[in-house]
Amino acid sequence: MRADAIGFAVIAAFTALLVWLVPDSYLPLKAWPFLFVAMLLCAWLWWLHPKAPTSPRGWCKAMLQVVACGLFLAGINFFASGAQAKARFAALYVTVFALIVAVAGLARSLARGERNARDVT
């Protein structure tokens, strides 16, 4: 339970940072509570999934996969969106949110005291 709270706190901290950094012209202030709840639900579902990473190394691998997929999709989205400037970065926004959830999973894993598979004797 404490580990879940730490994971949720990481999501809250990153959300607060994004609210402060992202201008209202890109994302209205009214949208942030909905995005915060969406990230909490996504994190909870990812953490409880049977195939979710169970070690810090697994969460680091998940973060790399999120970044790789996000950059690939961002490239496709950038060229497909044409002149729509705001739509060009939609895949990057989703990547940032997924990366926040993965970082929270790493923090949760560290708080639970999970070890890498190679470390177990």
pTM of the complete model: 0.83
Query: What is the per-residue pLDDT across 3-47, written as a single tens digit (0 to 9) for each?
Result: 889 999 999 999 999 999 988 888 888 999 999 999 999 999 999
Amino acid of residue 61: K
Q: Where are the domains of the chain?
A: 2-119
Exposed/middle/buried for residue 10 (C-beta within 10 Å: 0-12, 13-18, 19+): buried
> Rounded CA gap, 54 and 19, in Å?
30
Query: What is the per-residue pLDDT across 45-92, written as a single tens digit (0 to 9) for each?
Result: 999 999 989 889 999 999 999 999 988 988 887 777 765 666 667 778
How far apart, in Å, do the first and last CA atoms of the chain sit?
A: 26
